[in-house]
Chains A and B, each alone.
Chain A
């Protein structure tokens, strides 16, 4: 069974940092493009970032460019999102998802990040 499990969320002060992880199982992670999508409380989905299979091709939403970094460890079947200089508007549930033929076909359950003093 394909599974994505996010972790690393929590409460952080404005200006702080957090690293999210997404552990994958049940599929060939190393062959899969991966994405991060977030959802602020009561709001819609916002695409955040994506990486190809070896992090040689990454892309970011303008709102996080220069502050967030996507990475992966194919040996550990894990995707990461390093988030620096966090702002209140970064408060959201963060989902990782597998990109397959230009769609996000499997999603994790999400991890909540709260940026507040």
Chain B
């Protein structure tokens, strides 16, 4: 199975900050990498698919990059509604494993 490792596991940031989250795959997954946002008590929501494509309706301050084994999610200017937990997921091969999550908290 492909292991997905996210870092950091948590971070504190202020409104307006640029935030970067990293996800590493245990083997090459080409660009089959998705990013999800989850708020407490809610279902996850897809933000980025295929490593760098923005899901319809998602603000343009979210962006993704990378291929192979290293990927990043960037929030260019953190907004109050962005405080949440973020997960990467590989869809290269089943099981479609998730990373452990990154909790973004208010500084």
Could you tell me which A residues sit within 8 Å of B by CB distance? Answer: 35, 37, 44-47, 50, 59-62, 95, 101-105, 107-110
Contact = CB atoms under 8 A, between A and B. Distances in A.
Given A44-B101, A45-B98, A105 B46 contact: yes
By secondary structure, the B interface counts as loop
A45 B38 CA distance: 10
Interface residues of B, number: 23
5 contacts: A45-B44, A47-B89, A103-B91, A104-B44, A108-B43
Contacts, number: 59
Given A102-B32, A102-B50, A50 B45 contact: no
A47 B97 CA distance: 6
B71 interface: no
Contacts of A109: 43
Interface of B: 1, 32, 34, 36, 38, 43-46, 49-50, 55, 87, 89, 91, 94-101
B100 A103 contact: no
A91 to B, nearest CB: 17
A19 to B, nearest CB: 21
A95 B97 CA distance: 15
A44 B97 CA distance: 11
Contact of A35 (B1, B36, B46, B96): B96
A102 to B, nearest CB: 4
A59 B36 CA distance: 21
B94 A50 contact: yes
